[in-house]
Amino acid sequence: MAWICLFTIISISTLAYSSKGDTEYHSRLDLDSLTRDLLDSAKEPEFFDWLKRVRRRLHQYPELAFEEHETSQLIRSELDSLGIDYKFPVAKTGVVASVGSGVEPSFGLRADMDALPIQELVEWEHKSKNNGKMHACGHDVHVTMLLGAAKLLQRRRDELKGTVKLVFQPGEEGHAGAYHMIKEGSVDNVQAMFGLHVSPEMPTGTVGSRPGPVLAGSARFLVKIQGEGGHAASPHLTRDPVLAASLAILALQQIVSRETDPLESRVVSVGFIQAGQAANVIPETVSFGGTFRSMTTEGLSYLQQRIKQVIETQAIVHQCTATIDFLEEKLKPYPATVNDESMYEHAKKVGESVFGKSNILLIPMTMGAEDFSFYSKKMPAAFFMIGTKNETQKQTLRLHSPYLIIDEEVLPLGAAFHAAVALSYLENPAVLKAR
């Protein structure tokens, strides 16, 4: 009797496994067919030429956070030509477009669109025409890839089992544009979100991410230490703020090295210090500032508390006073970017179909920050890096460089990846929620 039961259990399990395997097999066939069609469409010469034209126009006219007026106009013009409805303005210059049925489920794709205050030093036909401004973080590429996805999705709008929200977001570079987009309700009905960021360190044709925490939470601080100035020949008649600031900066480093678990990721960095101008005069005030970062909200709060205590105490020791501004309204702190495991697995599976399994990279956590984190805090989200390194081009391998060069072969790849992640999510969002 026991043998019969065991045989029955094994048989049922085998059938269940085979059924599951067949489902996954057919799902893989459907996904492969979908991604192949999307990639073929995005790589058509006419489509690819359009992508390059859009990206180069964006690159030539970069605009800083919440000043992206021409950028926004270009996005809206392209959406109009595609017959895609949108809401504008959102968070001053942002645009949120909709493709599909207009009903739930709703899936979000996000591209940031602001540039940096950097003078471009790459000499090429489409160099920035706005002096002192450059798309040195690749946001021109992000916008172009999302517009490419919009075009691909619009062609399949009657097949969409729900709605894709295309979120063109201003003010990522330190100004928490994502926070303001969320605050204005632009993604209230969005169930999940996906974002891409270029990586000049990864070869074109690869993508990478990881489940869980991927980028740090980040905040800033400005400090003014007030003392009593005087001649350097009579330091006893002064209250030296330079000494107080110097020892405060040194003491800040002990927060991580002596108060943080070595297995946790935290960092405190001072980026500037300003004092007097004369070598023989002790100044009245010293200013300095920097950033602090952590992979957890709790870690960020602890660092903020201790930074304040350390600086104020060091100032008192040297008979000075300290004022600390954490810029919480002007430069809102970013939470850590955390990939939802189900969304990560979904995007990874789609990426394997688009790029090939061997081209999906498990990247390490880094202490850089991204305001995509506000979306990942609100809803299941996944954030991936997409490679733009071309060995045949002379390229710098870091973002925020005046010498940044992007391999434009990434444009159709990113457009197809965006569209495939959204389309396949809408096919069966319940499966992702149940994982």
Asked if residue 173 belongs to a known ligand binding site, the reply is yes
The number of helix segments (H) and strand segments (E) in the chain equals 11, 16
Strand extents, DSSP E, 148-303: 163-169, 192-203, 207-209, 212-215, 217-226, 230-231, 266-274, 281-282, 285-294
How far is the C-alpha of 230 from the C-alpha of 228, rounded, in Å?
Answer: 7
Task: Give exposure, 379-416, as e/b (b: 16+ Cβ within 10 Å).
Answer: ebbbbbbbbbbbeeeebeeebebeebbbbbebbbbbbb
Beta carbons within 10 angstroms of residue 378's beta carbon: 15
Q: Residue 17, class by beta-carbon neighbours within 10 Å (0-12 exposed, 13-18 middle, 19+ buried)?
A: exposed
Query: How far apart are alpha carbons 10 and 253 in whole angstroms?
Result: 60
User: How many whole angstroms separate alpha carbon 93 and alpha carbon 71?
Assistant: 9
CB 136 within 8 A of CB 114: no
Which of 417, 389, 388, 382 has the alpha carbon at shortest distance from 214? 382
DSSP string, 161-198: SSEEEEEEE---TTT-HHHHHHHTTTTTT--EEEEEEE
Cα 350–chain centre separation:
20
Return the closest-CA partner of residue 307 out of 359, 372, 346, 255: 255
β-partners of residue 286 are 225
Is 142 a known ligand-binding residue?
Answer: no
Residue 142 has φ and ψ, to the nearest 5°, of: -60, -45
- Find the helix or strand (DSSP H, E) in which 338 lies: strand 337-339
Structure tokens at 73: 């106009």
CA distance 207 to 415: 13
Selection from 59, 57, 56 nearest residue 135 by Cα = 59
The amino acid sitting at 154 is Q
- Of 66, 198, 187, give the one whose Cα is nearest residue 145: 198
135 belongs to an annotated ligand binding site? no
Annotated binding site for Mn(2+): 137, 139, 173, 197, 400
Annotated binding site: 137, 139, 173, 197, 400
